[in-house]
Every structure is written in structure tokens, then in C-alpha cells.
Amino acid sequence: MIDEGVLKDNNSKRVVETLVKEATGEEAAALAALKVLDIDKQQAEYLQTIGEGWAFPLKRFMNELELLESL
């Protein structure tokens, strides 16, 4: 049944070259029209923290005194 494609062989290894596909002409034009914001690594990490909800339910970042109190 595996040879006929009815069942999938879960023991076979599968290597994927890439998950990124090339943008079409229409997508490339839309991407070129977007605004660009240059940020450094630390700012990107803050955005990731906020975006993934790690800081929830906090409403703001800790100030220095709150940081020292928690340490």
C-alpha cells in the first residue's frame, strides 16, 4: 500500500530545501511600496517579546527600581 501511495511511510526521511518561496512580480511590487523602519537587534528582541505576548499582562517595561527589586 505504501508503494501504491495509499499509505505514507512515516519512517522515510524527508529533507526540505527551503520553506521560502520567491515573490511573484505583484508581491515584489507590493513589498517595494512598504515603508522601511531600521531597528537594531535589541529593538527587534523587544518587538518579539511584545508580539509573542511574553510581557502579558504587563502594561509597560519595568523601571530600574522595579528591576532591582525583582532581582
Q: What is the tens place of the pLDDT at every residue in 16-71? A: 788 888 999 999 999 999 999 999 999 999 888 888 877 677 677 778 888 788 77
CA angle 9, 15, 4 (to 5 degrees): 30
> Residue 54 has what pLDDT?
76
Question: Has residue 63 been placed in a domain?
Answer: yes
Q: Which domain holds residue 66?
A: 37-70
The total of structural domains in the chain comes to: 1
Question: Has residue 19 been placed in a domain?
Answer: no
Question: Has residue 55 been placed in a domain?
Answer: yes
pTM of the model: 0.39
CA 32 vs CA 35, 36, 71: distances in Å: 8, 9, 45
